[in-house]
């Protein structure tokens, strides 16, 4: 990011209109060398969210004049192979009108991306609500304790988007926390580790880096 034409546009958030690519220091000819394609002019515009953050770049290359009947896509490459190196008269620079058009396109792209993100967020929220409803239903069903604990832990990791979730029950007589999940019946002192402190303090504990916390793996 910050390199090349697209990278520069992404950082600056400004449209870039380059009439001659090889005379601009921001242009990299690596793709041309690898593909055999000749880049002559470039028009790039940022895709900006409502909050002002740039989320993408739309880039167009080699504007054709009206007298040139080439179409976009593979036809461009085919016609390039048939032309001499000095046929630059068919490639005119992008105009201010082109800048306005690509800005409109970038704005529409921003709206489309925002709508897509909203849809994903709504879908994720609906999935979490369903997981919560499953837990509530399980609590009101005649399930055994093991089945109930399994349902809660299975849905809980989906709700908080975690790799694993374990539920401990307090054995007051033994002053231990026990896990009913898995083949091994895990028991830990109720005053040890993260689960122990959570139990004794009745507070939620959120640890961003487990290995940097002295309570981890006690």
Domain extent listing, the chain: 5-69+91-119, 166-217
How many CB atoms are closer than 10 A to CB 195? Answer: 20
Q: Which two tokens stand for residue 173?
A: 């007589």
φ and ψ at 91, to 5 degrees? -115, 100
pTM of the model: 0.51
Q: Which two tokens stand for residue 174?
A: 């033994």
Q: Which two tokens stand for residue 5?
A: 């034409």
Cα dihedral 77, 31, 45, 108, rounded to 10, equals 60
Per DSSP, 199 falls in state: H
Residue-level pLDDT at 74: 41
Return the CA Rg of the chain: 30
Residue-level pLDDT at 163: 84
- C-alpha closest to that of 172 among 190, 160, 185: 190
Residue-level pLDDT at 12: 92
- C-alpha closest to that of 110 among 25, 163, 50: 50
CATH number of 5-69+91-119: 3.30.450.40
DSSP character string of 97-141? HHHHHHHHHHHHHHHHHHHHHHHHHHHHHHHHHHHHHHHHHHHTS
Residue-level pLDDT at 69: 44
- C-alpha closest to that of 81 among 37, 122, 40: 37
pLDDT in tens, the chain (218 residues): 668 899 999 999 999 999 999 999 999 888 888 888 899 999 999 999 988 899 999 999 998 765 544 444 444 444 444 454 445 456 688 999 999 999 999 999 999 998 888 888 777 777 777 777 776 776 677 667 667 777 777 777 777 778 888 888 888 899 999 886 655 678 888 888 898 889 989 999 999 998 888 888 75
Residue-level pLDDT at 47: 95
Residue-level pLDDT at 182: 56
Q: Which two tokens stand for residue 120?
A: 């994903």
Q: Which residues pair with 213 in a beta bridge?
A: none
Rounded to whole angstroms, how far apart are CA atoms 118 and 149? Answer: 33
């Amino acid at each position: 990011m910050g390199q090349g034409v697209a990278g520069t546009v992404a950082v600056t958030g400004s449209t870039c209109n380059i009439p001659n690519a090889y005379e601009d220091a921001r242009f990299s000819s690596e793709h041309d060398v690898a593909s055999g394609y000749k880049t002559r002019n470039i028009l790039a515009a940022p895709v900006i969210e409502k909050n002002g953050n740039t989320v993408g770049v739309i880039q167009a290359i080699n504007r054709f004049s009206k007298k040139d009947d080439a179409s976009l896509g593979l036809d461009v490459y085919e016609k390039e192979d048939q032309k001499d190196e000095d046929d630059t008269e068919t490639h005119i620079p992008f105009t201010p009108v082109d800048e306005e058009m690509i800005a409109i396109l970038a704005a529409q792209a921003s709206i489309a991306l925002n709508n897509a993100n909203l849809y994903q967020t709504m879908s994720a929220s609906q999935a979490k609500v369903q997981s919560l409803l499953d837990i509530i239903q399980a609590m009101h069903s005649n399930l055994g304790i093991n089945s109930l604990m399994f349902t809660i832990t299975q849905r809980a990791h989906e709700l908080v988007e975690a790799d694993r979730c374990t539920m401990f029950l307090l054995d007051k007589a033994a002053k231990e926390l026990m896990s009913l999940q898995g083949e091994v019946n895990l028991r830990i002192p109720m005053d040890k580790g993260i689960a122990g402190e959570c139990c004794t303090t009745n507070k939620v504990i959120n640890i961003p880096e487990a290995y940097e916390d002295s309570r981890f793996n006690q």
